[in-house]
Amino acid sequence: MNSYKDPENKIEIKQKITTLQNLKEIVDYANELYPSWIISYVNRYSYDYPHLESNWDYICKQNKTKRGQIVIVDNIFEGDEYSILKIFINIFILSGFIVRSKDEIYVCEKCNSAIPNKETFEKMKDSNIEMKIKEWNNKCSSCL
């Protein structure tokens, strides 16, 4: 059993989404359908990860939108049975937001910026992606 799968009235829900006027109405509707999905919002990535920040700026430029926030959600599911959640995620991205699951992101307790998990850090390190730190930590180097 999984409460994030598309409900039986998914066609009705998709129609309703097309009538929503702005991002606030979208967020409210997402919260109404899946109350536990959106956990929190973070304004930026940690200064230790300039690549993630510039990537985000690039995506916003491509989508001709201003930067929003990083939306931390309970989980990001793959598969056709999660098509409603996928619609919400796409709307967020097109609105300048980034959507990440709570397992992917730590929030620095001192400055409230987003830090990718250790697994992502190691992958970025292996790919020689620019980072200001050599070892992973759940706080920014400037916040230690």
Give the footprint of Zn ion on this chain (CB under 5 A): 108, 110-111, 140, 143
**Which residue lies nearer to Zn ion by CB, 85 or 114?**
114
Closest approach of Zn ion to the CB of residue 56, in Å: 17
Q: Count the helix, strand and coil residues of the chain and give each as a percent rounded to the nearest 5.
A: 40, 15, 45
Tokens of 96: 């300048």
Backbone dihedral angles phi then psi of residue 107, each to the nearest 5 degrees: -110, 120
- Check if the beta carbon of residue 100 is closer than 8 Å to that of residue 71: yes
- Check if the beta carbon of residue 31 is closer than 8 Å to that of residue 22: no
**Which residue lies nearer to Zn ion by CB, 74 or 104?**
104
**Which residue lies nearer to Zn ion by CB, 30 or 114?**
114
Closest approach of Zn ion to the CB of residue 39, in Å: 19
Closest approach of Zn ion to the CB of residue 120, in Å: 17
